[in-house]
Chains A and B, each alone.
Chain A
Amino acid sequence: MRDGYYVSTYLTPPGLSHLLDLRARHDNNVSLWLKSGREVRVIAHWPVERLSGWRRHGAAVPDSATGDELVASLLTSVGVDAADVVEFWGTPGIGGDRYVDVGGDHHDVDLPPHSVAHVFSCALLDTEVAWTEPVLALAVDGGPDSVLASKEYSSSFAGAYVESGEFTWFPVASPARLFTAARHRYGLREGTLMALATAAGCDAELSELRDEALEELPFTGPATLLLVECERMVGRMHDAVVAAFATGRVVADERFGAEEQVMSAVMKEVQRVSLAVMVRNVEEARARFGFDPTVTNLALAGGFALNCPTTSALMAEFGFRRLLSPPCVDDSGQSLGIALGAFHRRCGTGFDFRFPGAYLGHQDGELAGSFAEFADFIAEVEPADCRQVVDDLRSAPVVWVDGRAELGPRALGHRSILADPTSPKSKDELNRLKQREWWRPVAPMVREEDRAAWFEDARPSPYMLETFLVRRDREARVPAIAHLDRSARVQTLNREQDPFLHEVLSVFAEATGVPLLCNTSLNDKGEPIIDTVAQAINFCLRKGVQVAYLNRHRVTFKNMHLYQEDGPRGRTTWPFERDEAGTAALAGELNPAGLDDLYLHVWLRYPLLRRRFDPADRRSAQALRRTVDSWLATNHELEAGIRLWISRATGLVDRPRERQKKEEDHVRG
């Protein structure tokens, strides 16, 4: 394998997905790699949502040329010329004749490439570990995309047991679809629902339904069928909880509304089933491979790995040696997994890689320009000083932008709002800034060396992927951070990871005796994490945040009442914009037979149809239509499942304005 730059992309492929406004993949991302001899490094990683401002970005570019232009602009931002890239991986249609299909199947694995990439993203987080110690890797998420799939897989979720760098693959069970089903039912995101589970006290204890779910639901997939079953199960849990409230069997928690109490009780059951599914995964793997957990590493990826209580319960119950998970465990880490899988396939154990930490994103170099743009609103700019930071924190939350952005869904101190955990007001103030419900907890950041003094059995948790209990004797000191059950989602921070912020924690500890800060992501409701200084200033001015630390400058504001903008600052959306003329031209080219959208969706979704038919060819398009018609006629449940899937995959996540318009039309219609 040649030395040089490699680019892996996890984008919704150009063309038909753009025409259909289909998010064939979500959490699109791109990463840049450099191989020199044995050494492999990841140079940069870009989640596309930070660029576009569309949460969990899944919108496609119209064509390959636009996609290549987008990728080239990202590379330019770190001084790399796209012409110098040896190969492009991950998204057909991106990278021209240097695109190489490496993310697809390999012969011995009957599992979706998507889930296999998740496994690589965690199992190979540190190759020194993977080449010398046993690793149990589990990829658990809602389901695979089918872009690189070559067939339908009977199992949707991958696991691997790794010994001396040799992967033995097996299917695993994923509980994530239960959360998807709950999100669909309640219209709240998974994280919010989980927070609600612990925030309210009500518990219906549905042990029979729980056992049934555990025994009956097809947790290994296929994911489409699993979703239908999970929606049914969550519906039954909901009805059972409502009935339990009606008979007075559940103790009400009057601080919450009726609907919130029901959701809390349902989510408690969902969480219990989910943990049991994960424990069963580990036990089955242990029975098969006979490993000793105390010398084995647990590697987790897939969106469900964001479920911190489950991860911590697995670590505690089995006593695994360490947890291997990148900060981008969800699909925003797919480009990592695609690349690491490619290096492993090409080089076996003949390469070395160590994940360098979360701060691999965009660095905003436009500081002076942004200060000039907002000159009318900036009172003062001075160099940052740790003692001043601590004084500022003790009076109000501060906005914090520093260096390269962290990857993954959690802010880790480079795009954060920081606050004083000793003040009970902090939580309310942070929830106000972010327009969140009053009961949403706020996560703590703690100096790594102090973790054991403040949290029970705390392990290093640099990416905020574990929860620990606040020690009883410390609880009263940090009222802003703990859930009702004393659990807290902890980020541990050492000097090596971020010397400046570590120093701030130290000075804060000198002043207060508490080496912790509240840390929440810097973004408004409905907006992904803020990327640039200008976006951060817009946030401060709209929200009345008095002090921001922007790339080590202390910035204070004035004339806030005169600021006119009432929403987040627009971001870079040109590569993804849709217009009538453009889509009409695309339709003429890609769908000359004028097939109904349903056929195009099904064609995109099923690798078998993609291999067999080409909608851009009129004759082939007619054969496709006949085939799909005959297929759907055999199974009405299938058609319902496909229509459900299409409605979920279009217009759900991003393009807020368009979504709003759709909803309005729906109401009118």
Chain B
Amino acid sequence: MSEVELDGRIATRFLEVVAETLAIDVVDPSRTFQDLDGDSLSAIIVVETLREEGIVASAEALLSSEPLERVAARLEASHPGPR
């Protein structure tokens, strides 16, 4: 059971973009981006894709050793909006 809420709009979209970029069906949010073979290029692609949708993420955060659920939760928190 994941320890943070991942059903927010931003977090959901973030995990979708990660999955699309890395060409995997479902992302396990307890793993890190690099666990899933993410590298500096795929991190930039995720960031640029989100930016076009008005979501501001950073490649450094993606490439840190944090699990994706934490990155997602932080993104959700930093983009307050309609729930």
Contacts and interface: CB of A to CB of B under 8 A. Distances in A.
B44 A630 contact: yes
Nearest to A602: B41
A634 B42 contact: no
Contact of B45 (A150, A151, A612, A634): A612
Contacts of A608: 21, 41-42, 45
Most-contacted residue by chain B among A611, A626, A630 (CB, 10 A): A630
B48 interface: yes
B25 interface: no
Contact of A627 (B23, B39, B45): B45
B48 A627 contact: yes
A152 interface: yes
Q: Looking at chain A, what size class is its interface with the partner chain?
A: 10 to 19
Counting chain A CB atoms within 10 Å of each CB, the highest count among B41, B47, B48, B59 belongs to B41
Interface in A621-645: 623, 626-627, 630-631, 634-635, 638
A609 B39 CA distance: 13
Nearest to A613: B45
A623 B48 contact: yes
B56 to A, nearest CB: 13
Contacts of B23: 150-151, 611
Contacts of A609: 41, 45
B59 to A, nearest CB: 7
A631 B21 contact: no
Contact of B41 (A150, A623, A631): A631
Contacts of B52: 623
- DSSP majority for the A interface? helix
A631 B40 contact: yes
A623 B45 CA distance: 9
A627 B23 CA distance: 18
A634 B48 contact: no
Interface in B42-68: 42, 44-45, 47-49, 52, 59
A630 B48 contact: yes
Contacts of B44: 627, 630-631, 634
A606 B48 CA distance: 16
Nearest to B52: A623
A154 B38 CA distance: 11
A151 B40 contact: no
A612 B40 contact: no
Nearest to A222: B39
A154 B52 CA distance: 29
B37 interface: yes
A55 to B, nearest CB: 33
Contacts of B39: 152
Given A151-B23, A608-B21, A635 B48 contact: no
A154 B47 CA distance: 22
Given A151-B37, A152-B37, A606-B41, 18 more contacts: A150-B23, A151-B23, A154-B37, A608-B21, A608-B41, A608-B42, A609-B41, A612-B45, A612-B49, A623-B48, A623-B52, A626-B48, A627-B44, A631-B40, A631-B44, A634-B44, A634-B59, A638-B40
Interface of A: 150-152, 154, 606, 608-609, 611-612, 623, 626-627, 630-631, 634-635, 638
16 contacts: A151-B23, A151-B37, A152-B37, A608-B21, A608-B45, A609-B45, A612-B21, A612-B45, A623-B52, A627-B48, A630-B47, A630-B48, A630-B59, A631-B44, A634-B59, A638-B40
Interface of B: 21, 23, 37, 39-42, 44-45, 47-49, 52, 59
